[in-house]
Structure 1
Amino acid sequence: MKWILFLMTALLLPALQASDRIRILVWDEQQPEQKQAYGEKFLGETIAARLEQLPDLVVKNARLDDPDQGLSDASLDATDVLIFWSHRRAKEQNDDRMEAVVKRVMQGRLALISLHSAHWSKPFVRLMQERAKEDAVKALPESERGAAQWEFSNAAPYYQGVGRAARITPFVEKGEGSRWKLTLPACVFPMYRNDGAPSHVTTLLPRHPIAAGLPAQWDIPRTEMYSEPFHVPAPDEVVFEEKWDKGEHFRSGCVWKVGHGRVFYFRPGHETYPVFKQAETLLVLENALRWLAPGAAR
């Protein structure tokens, strides 16, 4: 009888351990330019290869050119945290598949980590729009919320920058009576510079779980520069800030709660620089996915 119990335990233990692991899907547009920095592997494959070494994670890859763009309902239902990289082909992202991501994040079934140029990916933009709507309603006196009639503008992503003089989105304007107009966030910024200059990162919230094990200040030797203002809803937390020697700065590690789920935007990158071979940036991802995973202690 003892050997039967031993055998059952041996068979069940791996399954129990697997059920406790965080399920990660690394989604990558897979631009050919990534090979300049990442060699034989694409950027997403490089991140996945690192995460696969961690025993508490189950890691899979997906790409834009997969069936269902790698984001079938079955695949998303088997994912706790989606790490998302895109750049030039954002317009090709299938609306239905991206809305499937948005729906699960807002339900609290999935968390999203959006990397660098995925600031204008459809899932990130849509989730920032939904957060802007939530913020707009909360800003009204409670007695006016039920009767408010909303008009939304700027719903389509820009896929281009904005001028420094442009009004920062999102913003709300009062109409007649109970009518309100919300201009949704553009999720872009007025300036970028792809010269590979180093950025200097400050850990603004050293006690935040996403910052665990990271120094107060650290550098990224080569990266693309983005300059504020970033046209997004005010983050709940800004964990990191980047600065450049020419004076630019950017909120580079931002967390939002949207619906019942969470989104983390991590700015460093560009496909031609090996940003995600660096120990610090990989540690940010490891910390973030563990903290963001649905059901994680916060």
Structure 2
Amino acid sequence: MSDAPVRVTVWNENVHESTGNPASMAQDYPDGLHGTIARAVEELVPGATTRTAVLSDPEHGLTEEVLADTDVLLWWGHVAHGDVADEVVDRVQRHVLAGMGLIVLHSGHFSKILIRLLGTTCSLAWRNDGGREVVWTVATGHPIAEGVPNPFVIEQQEMYGEPFDVPAPDELVFISAFPGGEVFRSGMTYLRGRGRVFYFSPGDQDYPVYHHPDVRRVIANGVRWAHQPGLERAVPEVTHPAEGWFTRSPA
């Protein structure tokens, strides 16, 4: 993977930080989930520059200017998917199709942008009892698995299980196993237009999972994989003039 400088935007709805269990959030994620994830990228991706954006920012912090200056966008959401404006989802989709990388984390499986890009409900089975997650690499040698033990163990985590209503991935990188016997496709890649998309499930607001060194390594590897240095960003051409937003410039 290239170590060319990469511009990363970490988006977080930033709701749990002030609701639910703010004391636990303050202890585990004093800089918010977005801050913790951004620090992982800065520490493990040479030359990376990061910015963060949250739901309450104007245009959710995802303006044309910000997206045009973003090589890889990371997305974390959970309880406020419906509050994300459709015009912002349109904008993000257009930039992904044009070549921007997208990494969707954990409960972002229900985000409008992932549902839009995959075309399915993205629903799954879940149980939050703080059980143990064992993450197995099934695509040994994949760049996203570089330097990651096989398996690695997360001692406390929310269970995500099959069936997971997503299209068959282009690449299945990780599967997870849980104490109840459940399994889950926990790391998958897709190509959408010119953009690379990676979904990675380990990570939760109730547990300090984003401090886990192997989770941080996977996220950093995902950023490096999703980045396509030198790619000239352009929305794929279509033949239907009625689909006018597809033909607009991505920047």
Task: Give TM-score scaled by structure 1 length.
Answer: 0.71
Cα deviation per residue 1:81-105 (whole Å; 9 max; x = unaligned)? 0000000000000110111111111
Structure 1 residue 52: Cα displacement? 2.5
* Equivalent of residue 64 in structure 1, options 55, 60, 68: 55
1:282 aligns with 2:193: no
Look up the match of 2:12: 28
Look up the match of 2:113: 123
2:130 alignment partner, SS class: coil
Cα separation, 1, equivalents of 2:172 and 2:46: 29
1:261 aligns with 2:251: no
Contact 1:26/1:60, CA 8 A, preserved across alignment = yes
1:113 aligns with 2:103: yes
Identity %: 39
Contact 1:34/1:43, CA 8 A, preserved across alignment = no
1:88 alignment partner, SS class: coil
Look up the match of 1:101: 92
Radius of gyration: which is bigger? 1
Cα deviation per residue 1:21-57 (whole Å; 9 max; x = unaligned)? 1000000111224651524221111111232334410
Contact 1:34/1:272, CA 8 A, preserved across alignment = no
* Equivalent of residue 188 in structure 1, options 119, 123, 134: 123
**Which letter does structure 1 place at the counterpart of 2:155?**
P
Q: CA RMSD in A?
A: 1.5
**Which letter does structure 2 place at the counterpart of 1:88?**
V
2:117 alignment partner, SS class: helix
Structure 1 residue 119: Cα displacement? 0.4
Structure 1 residue 259: Cα displacement? 1.4
Look up the match of 1:78: 69
Cα deviation per residue 1:91-131 (whole Å; 9 max; x = unaligned)? 000110111111111121x11100010001111111112xx
**Which stretches in structure 2 are left out of the alignment for 5+ residues?**
232-251
Cα separation, 2, equivalents of 1:34 and 1:51: 24
Contact 1:105/1:261, CA 8 A, preserved across alignment = yes
Contact 2:40/2:220, CA 8 A, preserved across alignment = no
* Equivalent of residue 206 in structure 2, options 254, 272, 287: 272
Cα deviation per residue 1:218-269 (whole Å; 9 max; x = unaligned)? 1011110011011011001110000011100000000011112111000112
Runs in 1 of length 4+ with deviation above 3 angstroms? none
Mapping 1:5-16, distance limit 5 Å:
none
**Which stretches in structure 1 are left out of the alignment for 5+ residues?**
1-19, 130-184
Look up the match of 1:230: 164
Cα separation, 1, equivalents of 2:71 and 2:146: 21
Mapping 1:201-212, distance limit 5 Å:
201-212=135-146
Change (3 A) 1:128 1:35: farther
Cα separation, 2, equivalents of 1:271 and 1:262: 26
Contact 1:223/1:275, CA 8 A, preserved across alignment = yes
Structure 1 residue 296: Cα displacement? 7.4
Count residues in correspondence: 221
Look up the match of 1:133: none
Task: Give TM-score scaled by structure 2 length.
Answer: 0.84
